Amino acid sequence: MKKIIAFLLNEYRNMLSTKLKQKNQRNKNDFLVKDDFNWKEYHRIYGKQLSELSEIHTQILKNGDYVFKNKELALNHDILPLHPNHRLVYETLLQLSPNSVIEVGCGWGDHLYNMKLLCPEIKLSGIDLSDKQISNLRKRHPELRADIKQLDITLPYPFSYPIHDIAFTQAVIMHLKVGNSHLIALSNMFRYATKQLLLMENWTAHDFLDDIKFLFSKNMIPWKNIYFYYRVSIEFNKPHLMIISSVPLKKYPVLTDYSILRD
């Protein structure tokens, strides 16, 4: 009797383990063939997301809404605050004080518009994969003085394209899930900028620190040196933004343990 029960238990365990393997395999395959969105249709979802966010956050700044003083970007008027992620990205860009900045996956252009308002002398560029996103950007910000192009960050870098001091993303690479596309996108971003990359991403989507270290170790990043830092979001009270620099930056804490971003 004992032998029969042991046999049945063993069979049951094997069956569970096979099912689990099949499930993992399916998830892994999904992961390999699809980004998080169908980018051709994404402008509709994005429009809804912006409209929902507008209930709780200011998206398009006006003169004097925020001031950059003592290295901090602070609310100056009685308006809805910026989304904490956006405020942290703008504040860090202002602290680093670049001459030129490119946003990869610029969507409808609010970040470029806001940066121009906060620092009119910065030379700005934006690229986005989607024509629809770009035509909406042009409708939403017809006056925006920035070089906007349709470009896929996962395609080889076009050598005629201008190089900037800083390249940044906000919620872009976290969504790239087809094969190695996020690695190619990351590697390309280092061609668009010579001084720093700022990444505001979902840190659980990829291991960004490990991936960039891997690319650097394989000479797939055209920088001589690489340094990793992070910034804490005062609103969320946790490490939230990743700064990758070609030169040492004294003012930011060094990022060694990636889990502090994930927690």
Ligand X SMILES: C[S@@+](CC[C@H](N)C(=O)[O-])C[C@H]1O[C@@H](n2cnc3c(N)ncnc32)[C@H](O)[C@@H]1O
For ligand X, the binding residues (CB under 6 A) are 39, 42, 105-107, 127-130, 133, 152-154, 170-172
Quick one: 39 or 252, whose CB is closer to ligand X?
39
We find the least distance from the C-beta atom of residue 109 to ligand X, in angstroms, to be: 8
Quick one: 125 or 133, whose CB is closer to ligand X?
133
We find the least distance from the C-beta atom of residue 133 to ligand X, in angstroms, to be: 4
Q: What is the DSSP string of the chain?
A: -HHHHHHHHHHHHHHHHHHHHHHHHHHHHHHHH--SS-TTTHHHHHHHHHHHHTTTS--S--TTSEEEETTEEEE-SSSPPPPHHHHHHHHHHHHH--SEEEEES-TTSHHHHHHHHH-TTSEEEEEES-HHHHHHHHHH-TT--SEEEE--TTSPPPTTSPPEEEEEEESSGGG--STTHHHHHHHHHHHHEEEEEEEE--TTTS-HHHHHHHHHHTT-S--S--EEEEEEETTTTEEEEEEEESS--TTS-B---THHHH-
We find the least distance from the C-beta atom of residue 250 to ligand X, in angstroms, to be: 29
We find the least distance from the C-beta atom of residue 26 to ligand X, in angstroms, to be: 24
Quick one: 106 or 199, whose CB is closer to ligand X?
106
Quick one: 202 or 253, whose CB is closer to ligand X?
202
We find the least distance from the C-beta atom of residue 7 to ligand X, in angstroms, to be: 52
Quick one: 52 or 257, whose CB is closer to ligand X?
52
